[in-house]
Amino acid sequence: MHESSAAAPEIVEVATAKERHYRIHYGAIGHSFEAIFADYLRGADEISIEDPYIRQHHQIVNFLRFCEVAVRFGPPKLIHLTTRFDNDLERDEAMAKLFSIVDSLKESGVRLEVKTDSNLHDRDIRLSNGWRIQIGRGFDIYQKPEDWLQLGANDLALRPCLETTVEITRSSA
């Protein structure tokens, strides 16, 4: 005899954004960009990102992954990215990739502005809804997979992390 095929009602927890200060330990899993950022992106029309390390291919891909989460949970109207480059070749290669992201975001109604600042050092994400997120390693929090055909290669919730701290605070202004 089979049990009733009626599904039990799904219980959905609604997370509320709150200030958080925590460490992501080396090798920890479960820290996707969605898990870190989603609750804070809601209602943010503008996102300002300062990160001097959005220049190598994997760093740009991680920035794109952040943008994808922002579009899904915001979506913002404008994203400001300020980064820096060590030389002209690095800048030219990175900017070509970043301009592809500019074009892609336009299709979702999001404008991306990219600026450079040769004095930039710290990483900082400020949201127009009052939240500030600082991650010691910026978006570069994941270990490189040993094999791109293993769990965690595509699903960041399953990818082991590098050690870093996360500080999420609410602006009083």
Domain CATH number, residue 148 = 3.30.870.30
13 is a domain residue? no
Q: Does the pLDDT of residue 38 top 90, yes or no?
A: yes
161 in a domain, yes or no? yes
106 φ, ψ (degrees, to nearest 5): -55, -35
Q: Could you tell me if residue 2 is inside a domain?
A: no
Residue 3 lies in a domain: no
Helix (H) or strand (E) holding 64: helix 57-73
Number of domains in the chain: 1
Q: Which domain holds residue 89?
A: 20-170
Sheet holding 164-170, edge to edge: 20-24, 164-170, 131-135, 124-127, 46-50, 78-83, 111-116
Determine the average pLDDT of the residues in 22-35. Answer: 97
Read off the pTM.
0.88
Q: Which 8-state DSSP code applies to residue 142?
A: B
Asked if residue 10 is part of any domain, the answer here is: no
With 50 as the cut, is the pLDDT of residue 53 above it? yes
Under DSSP, the state recorded for 85 is: -
Q: According to the model, what pLDDT value does residue 3 have?
A: 42
